[in-house]
Structures are given as structure tokens and as C-alpha cells.
Structure 1
Amino acid sequence: MELSLEEAQNYALENNRTLKNASIDVLKSQASHWQSVASMLPQISAKADYSNYCGYEMNFGMMAIPMNPYGTLGVTASMAFSGAQVVAVQISKIAQRMSDISLKMTEQETKDQVKTLYYSALVMEQTVELLNRNLDNMKELYKYTEESVKVGIAEQTDADQLLIQLSTMRTSIFSSATSLEMVYNSLRLQLGVDVNTEIVLTQNIDDLLNAEAAFALVSEEFILDNNYNYQLLKENTNLSKKQLNAQKWSTGPQLSAYYNYSAKTYFGKDEGMNMTPPNMVGVSVSVPLFSSLGKNKAIQAAKYDYEKQLNSMKETEDALRIQHRQLCYNLETALQTYDTQKQNIDVTQRVFNNISNKYEVGAAASLDLTNAGTNLISAQSSYVQALMELVNAQIALEQLLNK
């Protein structure tokens, strides 16, 4: 499958299994909310039964009263209402909003992980390609050196040094290729595709990197309410407040009402005596009077939890503002480092090519060539690290700003 970065992110949003579970959690929270609402709505139940005394007769002196079979049908409608139930509905609504925010956070994290893996794969492919080109060049130089040793114009140590350099470069290529496959496996996992699915990335690093967009992030205003973590924290604070209210309402009255309909039918030649009223209505009010200070202490504990949550919220606000400043510094530094390492790898590659050409005509020693090859591998590693630091710094700031 061929994917641009945007296509890969969209595909992950539709197929990522972690994201699917987050969507299920939203549906689950909706069901829990309506479960709380339903507790305040009328509850209706019906009951039917049949009784047979198997011909038994009740004797009162000279009079026998037959116990005929009979059946009853009853329908009961009841409803209970209290302040605690209202608060429970409000709490379930908060839980539903928190699930929605968590889903959005998971979507953002999924897109960011796909972006990181996409960049990583491109960088590793570029690394392997560069190392393979240099390996081919080193092979030619080694072949040339071996022939020079045979005719006596070069020493065996020169060939040995190049052979070590070849082995080092092959090891680097193998390590990079292994890392590349691991990156693709992680990308397959994020996309929710089979492990054997071949993925082709249709964009390159130059298409995706945008220094101007990165600098624009640094100057963008940080709005706390746009941050998903802060949104969750606010909902947690609201939840703590509602839990305090729930404890307070546990000492409040509870109103309940019911209606009962009952019908009784006898099966036999003699009609029995029916003392069951067909309709009944009842209302009751329950008020807690004394709980040995248990509920009062529960209210105090909930109040302390709410105060702690308010303190945590204030501390998090300050921490997020500090984090914003630090992430801006990190991104600016990463941009400068990336620019430096990009120039460094270009210069190191040209130095390696220049020394290779000189070596072929005898104007450079094998040690110079070996050092140039080592410097090139080191520069490539530094470039990869700088690029990934830039990507991670940009993603971290985008997450904070909810971009």
C-alpha cells in the first residue's frame, strides 16, 4: 500500500485498534449516563401466578368451603427521586465528556505516532541508501588497493585498513536496515494492518520538513483551554465537586411513589372471596436523621479531595505554561541543530568523495580514507538524531497547543 503522511494518519484513525477501544469507551460512557437517567424514571413490572389446592376444602363445622384454583395478575409502577440521583446523572455526564476528550487525545497521539514513524522510516531509508552508495565506493577502492598491493605500489596494511572500514560500513548498513524494519513493523501496528503488508511511503523528508511552520509554532499563543490534558483536569475538578455534592445530598430526603394494579380470577364453579384491592397508590418520604457522624465525616473527606483538586489544577496551569516555554526553546534549538547537521553531512560527504578521488591517484593515504569514512558514518548518525529531535520537538509543541 502506498501512503502519504496524511493518508497514513487518516488510515490509522479508521483502523487503529487502540483508537477503536477509545471509541468503545465513549459508547460505554453514554450507556452509563442513560443508566443513571433511567434510575429517576418510572420502573414498571408485572407479575402473574396460578395457585391450585388440588380439591382441598376448608371445613367450618357443618359448612365446607371449597378452595378453588385461582390466578392473579399484578402490575406495579414505581418511581424514586432524590438529590443524590440528580448529582449521579451530572457525574455520569462529566464521565461522558471525559471519554470524549480521551478519544480526541488518543486520535492526536495516534496521528503523532504515525508522523514520527513516517519520518523515522524516511530517514532510515535515506541512511541505508547513502551507506550503500559509500559501500560500493569503498569496495572499488578496496579492489584497487588489493591490485596495488600485488604490484608493490601499496602496502598490505592499506588494504587491511580498508577491509576494516568495509566491515564497519556493512555493520552500520545491517543495523540501519534492522532499525528500518522495526520502524515499519511499528507503523503497521499503528495502521492496524497485517504484519506482512508492504508499505511504500510516497513523500520524502524535504517535502515534509517546513522550518517556517516550525518557527510559527514558537510564536503561537498558548491557550490553556485548548490543551486536552488541561480539559481533562478541569473535568476531574468538576467531578470532584459533584462528588462533594453527592455526599451532601446523601443526608437529604428521598421521595418515592408507586401505583399497583391487581386482578384475581377463580377457576371453578364457586367464586372465592377476593379481598385484594384492584388499585393502590402510595407515596413515601424518607429522611435520614442520625448516622453517628459517619456521613458528616464523608462530606468532610470529599471537601478535602475537592480542595486538593483545586490546588492540583492551579499547579498544573503553571506547569503547562512553563512547559510551553521549554518546548519552544527545545524546538528552536532543534531547528538550529538540524540545520547544522544537515550542512555537516553534506560537507562530510564531499570530503569523503574528495579523499576517495585523491586516494585513487595516490595523493591520500588509506588512513585518511578510513578516517573520512568513519566521519561520514558519524555525521550520518548525528544527522538522523538531529532530525528526529526536530520532529519530536515539533510534535511535543503541537500536542501542547492542540494543533
Structure 2
Amino acid sequence: MIKMKLVKLVLIVFLCAPLMVWSQDQSSFSLEEAIQFAIENNYNMKNARTDVEIAKRKINETTAIGLPQIAGTISNTNYMSLPTTLFPDFITGAIYQVNEEKFGLVPVVPQAEQEFFPVSFGTKYNATAQLSVSQLIFKGSYIVGLQAAKAYLDQSKIQLQKSEIDIQESVTNAYFLVLVAEEQLEILKSTMKSLKEMRDETATIHAQGFIEDTDVDQLDLMVADLEANMFYTNNQVIIARSYLKLNLGLKLNYAIDLTDNLNDLLNGVKGTEVLNSGFSFDQNIDYKVLQNQKKLSELNLKNFKSEYLPSISAFFNYQKDAQRNSYNFFDRSEPWYTTQVYGFQMDIPIFSSGMRKAKVQQAKLELQKIEELDNQMQTSLGIAHETASTNFRNSLSIHLNKNKSKMLSDKIYKKALLKYKEGVFSSLDLLQNYNQYLTAESDYINSIVDLVAAKLALEKLLSE
């Protein structure tokens, strides 16, 4: 029933209220205007558009990997103690040998066994300024990365389209919920007016002693029951409006006016042209999402295969060095020594102990899973289309039936009121017709909700 459907929405409304966005000053909405307003201002739609922009920046980021990379570094090293290195003592042996060969001098004390002596190299203060340039020439994963970035952008655009379809469905449902709740409230108000008039007339007749207390009490009971229904339905209207504001991206205290008429919109919903629309898997938004996921999975496999290929890059380094015994690097009279180098580097994958092969096998299996999902989704979507078409036909048939029942029950109830006034019907007979009338009205309202939901489900499946 519509009561239960609206009550379930109240928690969503108040839990999601902090996420709603204050927007334009528009306060009157047709259904089409409400949909367009929500597309621009709904919280999820804004995030979906942001995701598209993020994907565009991702393409720029990936492209930049293959462009020249320039970096600069400046370093300063100050030794508190210079590093010391031990060298073999080759000097002492050489002196002994020269003395003996040239001068005939023989040492009185035999030459000691060769040892090491410490030597300190370098300067206390050192500075380096370096500029490095690198350029990627070839790398398989870079080429695949560019393709993946484009596929990621396509994915975000498809998700944006899906969000738009979802918001169209949500806004349309919410718009109709408001209209049917208000329609139900108007029916109850009209019924209350006639029922109170009948109750007052009956009370007058009772005061004159022509009828029993039971008749007045019965009408009082009917009025009390109707007042409770009106109170509940009025709250349903408030909740339905809050749910619509949530989908529009408006604050709960923002007043809105709906300009479309329920019957006019209902005539559009009753249109059966959608049943003649050909169903194509490629047009379904969920199938588009899966196809793009399949493309990303294929690129993932391609990326792992590219790890078998070598990568080539070029580089150039320009470096200035200064070595000083005093901290005077800003003294222009002191020299800085230049080093320049350029070259190419090729990284060749040779052996990874089966790691690359395992990655390729995993990627193939993941792609195989998606291909199975593809086959499953085609079958599921075909069944879903048949089911949605059948549900719409059934809902339309039920709605037309409930509309006839509503008109008949209205006619019967009015005659019952007239007969009650004429004294032909008892209060129990009137109560029976009254309950039948309210049930028919409620069934009619619920049939509208079901019809709209069935039509939207079919249109969403067709991505219209």
C-alpha cells in the first residue's frame, strides 16, 4: 500500500538530509522541470560529474609519464671528520730497496713485515647542484596505461549516464507519490465534508426522537475513523514532499509547488508505445557498464603481457660540484667543476621465476569470468525485459479495472447516502458502502503507484 511505501521513505529522508545541497530559487516544478533541476543539483549527480573530471585529469597524469621529466637537486655535505682509508705500506719497502740498490746500504735491523697506513681524502665542505632530464622512449605498460585511462574516462561517463537515469526514475516516482498522496487527502476531505453533514442531520433527527442513538454513534465512529485517516495521509504528503526535495537537492524547509496535474501525467503513463520499442542489450545502461569493465579487464591482461617487453629510456645529467676547506660556496672566484653525461638505458626482463606468467594467467581467468557474466547478463536482461513488459501490461490492466471499480463504488456510495437520508438504508448499510468506497479509492491510488513503478522499470531497462 501507498502508506507503507511512504513510511519506508521517512528514514531515508532524515538520514540523508545533511547531504542535500542548497540550490536555485526555483519553487514551482513541472515533472520535466523537476527532473532537469535534479540532474543539475542532485548530490549524486554532482559527484558523478566530478568523477568524469577526475578521469580526465587521470588521462593527463598518464600522458605525462611519457613526456620529458626534469628534476633538480642541490646538496651540501659538511664533514666534521674526513673519512679515512687504509692503504698498504708500499713506501717503506720502496725506500729500503732504493737504498740497497743505489747506495749499497744494508739495514742493520731487518725490514718489518708490510703494514697499512691511514690516508684521508677529500675536503671538509662539499656542494653539488644537479639537473637531470629523462625521456621514456618505449614501455609497453605506458601504451596500455593510456588506453586504460581512456577506458576509465568512458566508465565514468557511463556511470554519469546511469546516475542520470536513476535520478529520473527517483524524481518521477517521488513526484507521483506527492500527487497521489495529495489526491488521496482531497478524497478524504471531500468524504469528511459529506459525512459530517450527514452526521449533523442525523443528530438533528435524533434530537427530535425519530431515530435511535445507534445511528448517531455509528456516524460518529465513521467520522473519527476518517479523521485518523486524514491525519495519517497528511503526514504522508509531508514525507512524500520531503523525499522529492531530497532528490531535487533542496533543504527540507524549502517550499515547492508542483504544477503538473495527476490525471494529465497519468495519461502519459498509460501510453503503451514503450511496449513496441525494440530491446537491445547494447542500449541497456547496466550492460554498457559490464562491457566497459570487460574492456578494462582486457587491458589488464594486455598490461601483464607487456611486462615481457623491454623498456627503453634516455637520460641527461648536468652537475656542478664544489670542494672547499672553508665554507665559501658563494665566493665566485672559487671554481665549480662541471660534469655532463647522457645516455640510453634498456631494461630487459629475463627471468622472474614464473611471476609474470602467473599474472597473465590470473588476468585471463578474470577476463573469462567477465565473459561468462556477459552471457549471463544477456539472458537475464532478456528475461527482465519480458517480465517488465508483462508487469506493465498487468499494472495497466489492473489500474483500468480499479478505476472502473472506483467510479462504481463512488456511484454506489452516493446512492447509499441518498437512501440513508430517505430512511431506506440503516447506518450499518451505509457503513458497509462507506468501507467499500474507501477501499476502492485506496486500491485505485495504489494502482497508480504500481503502474508508474512498472512503467519506469520498463523504461529504465530500455534506458529511455
The question of whether the paired residues in 2 share the 8 Å contact of 1:254 and 1:287 is answered with yes
Q: TM-score, normalised by structure 1?
A: 0.91
The question of whether the paired residues in 2 share the 8 Å contact of 1:19 and 1:107 is answered with yes
Structure 2 counterparts to residues 216-227 of structure 1, below 5 A: 216-227=273-284
Which residue of 62, 71, 89 maps to 1:36? 62
Aligned: 1:135 with 2:192? yes
Aligned: 1:13 with 2:39? yes
Of residues 252-261 and 44-53 in structure 1, the stretch that sits farther from structure 2 once superposed is: 44-53
Q: Which residue of 2 aligns with 1:252?
A: 309
> Aligned equivalents of 1:372 and 1:238: distance in 2?
63
Structure 1: runs of 5+ lacking an equivalent: 57-64
Q: Which residue of 1 aligns with 2:144?
A: 87
Q: 1:270 to 1:175 in 2, by over 3 A?
A: closer
Structure 2 counterparts to residues 93-242 of structure 1, below 5 A: 93-210=150-267, 214-242=271-299
Q: 1:364 to 1:273 in 2, by over 3 A?
A: closer
Aligned: 1:328 with 2:389? yes
1:194-240 alpha-carbon deviations (Å, 9 max, x no partner): 21111111111121123686311001101221111111110011111
1:325-384 alpha-carbon deviations (Å, 9 max, x no partner): 111111111111111111211111121111111111212111111111111211111111
> Aligned equivalents of 1:293 and 1:52: distance in 2?
47
Question: How many percent identity over aligned positions?
Answer: 29
Q: 1:213 to 1:261 in 2, by over 3 A?
A: farther
Q: Which residue of 2 aligns with 1:61?
A: none
1:297-321 alpha-carbon deviations (Å, 9 max, x no partner): 1211111111111111011011111
Q: Which residue of 2 aligns with 1:59?
A: none
Amino acid at match of 1:333: N
Q: Which residue of 1 aligns with 2:102?
A: none
Q: Which residue of 1 aligns with 2:133?
A: 77
Q: TM-score, normalised by structure 2?
A: 0.80
Q: Which residue of 1 aligns with 2:319?
A: 262
1:36-60 alpha-carbon deviations (Å, 9 max, x no partner): 2222222111123456789x9xxxx
Which residue of 350, 360, 364 maps to 2:411? 350
The question of whether the paired residues in 1 share the 8 Å contact of 2:321 and 2:336 is answered with no
> Aligned equivalents of 1:158 and 1:367: distance in 2?
8
Amino acid at match of 1:313: D
Which residue of 334, 348, 363 maps to 2:424? 363
Q: Which residue of 2 aligns with 1:62?
A: none
Q: 1:292 to 1:159 in 2, by over 3 A?
A: same
Amino acid at match of 1:370: L
> Aligned equivalents of 1:101 and 1:213: distance in 2?
30
Q: 1:200 to 1:224 in 2, by over 3 A?
A: same
Distance apart, 1:33 and its partner CA:
2.3
Structure 2: runs of 5+ lacking an equivalent: 1-26, 83-120, 324-328
> Aligned equivalents of 1:227 and 1:66: distance in 2?
73
The question of whether the paired residues in 2 share the 8 Å contact of 1:67 and 1:272 is answered with no
| Structure number with larger C-alpha Rg | 2
Q: 1:15 to 1:269 in 2, by over 3 A?
A: closer
Q: 1:285 to 1:375 in 2, by over 3 A?
A: same
Distance apart, 1:67 and its partner CA:
5.7
Distance apart, 1:115 and its partner CA:
0.9
> Aligned equivalents of 2:284 and 2:126: distance in 1?
68
| Aligned-partner SS, 1:197 | coil
User: Size of the alignment, in residue pairs?
Assistant: 396
Distance apart, 1:95 and its partner CA:
1.3
Amino acid at match of 1:131: L
> Aligned equivalents of 1:66 and 1:102: distance in 2?
63
Q: Which residue of 2 aligns with 1:340?
A: 401
Aligned: 1:384 with 2:445? yes
Amino acid at match of 1:311: E
